[in-house]
Amino acid sequence: MPKAEISNRIRRLRFDHDEMTQEELANRVGCTRQTIIALEAGKYVPSLSLAFQVAKVFGVPVEDVFQYEE
Amino acid sequence: MTPLQKRAWLGLGVGVGMALAISAVFIARGVTSFDDDLVLRAITYVLCVGGLLVYAVTLRIKRRKPGSSEVLIDERDKEIVRGATMVQVWAVLISLFIWAIALTEAYWGQKSIPIIYAYLIAISGLIVNIVAQAAGILIGYRRSG
């Protein structure tokens, strides 16, 4: 089975949303700032629930935030 | 550093501290005197219960900081704790096997094992449990950024 990776555009989307801080995003989606840091660095793959919450904060579909790459 | 990471460092400190303190007490007063030495037994129990209480107080972490929207523990932390539980289980199992093999080999001739080892196995199990969980959490954080 080929290794799949989930990349994301969270850093870009934060920048586009008035340079939202990692802390503000973390508070709005209900996670720690360290988890946002790990997400942006591609070191942590979020649950579906967290992925949808992040997308909702930015007002975009989840696939605009997270991309599945084989 | 997340509250869970701070707790892990504290757990590591408590575990290593307990191990050093109990080792020092046993070395100072002599392992074989445990049966007759009430002071040694009392010190050992106080160290174990004290260490456990300090650790237990830190176990409970609230989901959010009181009066703030800041999240203290989230899904990634919970995932790391689940991983650490496996490290904990294996570490305790391995320590029990080491005790069993070492004591069996050492006392095979006598066909009986001194009662002091029951205490030492319990104490070491407790310490290994605390240290392994802390180590598992810290390794988990290191792996997932």
Contact call for A27 and B2, based on CB within 8 A: no
The mean per-residue pLDDT over the stretch A8-22 comes to 92
Whole-angstrom CA distances from B144 to A43, A44, B131 are 5, 6, 20
Select from B75, B143, B144 the Cβ nearest to the Cβ of A31: B75
Percentages helix, strand, coil for chain B, rounded to the nearest 5?
Answer: 80, 0, 20
Q: Tell me how close the Cα of B81 comes to any Cα of chain A, in angstroms.
A: 14
What was the pLDDT predicted at B50? 84
Which residue do the tokens 């290593």 mark? B16
B81-95 tens-digit pLDDT: 999 999 999 999 999
Mean predicted confidence (pLDDT) in A6-18:
91
Distance from CA of A10 to the nearest CA of B (A): 16
What are the distances in angstroms from CA B49 to CA A49, B20, B21, B44, B62?
A: 41, 15, 13, 9, 24
What value does the mean pLDDT take over residues A24-47?
91
Structure tokens at A28: 């709005």
* Of residues A31, A36, A43, the one with CA closest to residue B144: A43
Nearest to B74 among A30, A37, A43 (CB): A30
Q: What is the pTM of this model?
A: 0.80
Q: What is the number of residues in chain A?
A: 70
Q: Name which of A23, A31, A49 is nearest B76 (Cβ-Cβ).
A: A31
How far is C-alpha A70 from the chain's CA centre?
19
pLDDT at position A56 is 95
Overall number of domains in chain B: 1
- CA separation for the pair A33, B9 (Å, rounded): 19
* Per-residue confidence band for B120, with pLDDT thresholds at 50, 70 and 90: confident
The full set of domain ranges for chain A reads 9-55
Half-sphere exposure of B140 (CA within 13 A, CB side): 26
Question: Domain span at residue B103?
Answer: 3-143
Q: Which residues of A touch B145 (CB under 8 A)?
A: 34, 37-38, 41, 43-44
- The per-residue pLDDT for B61 is 67
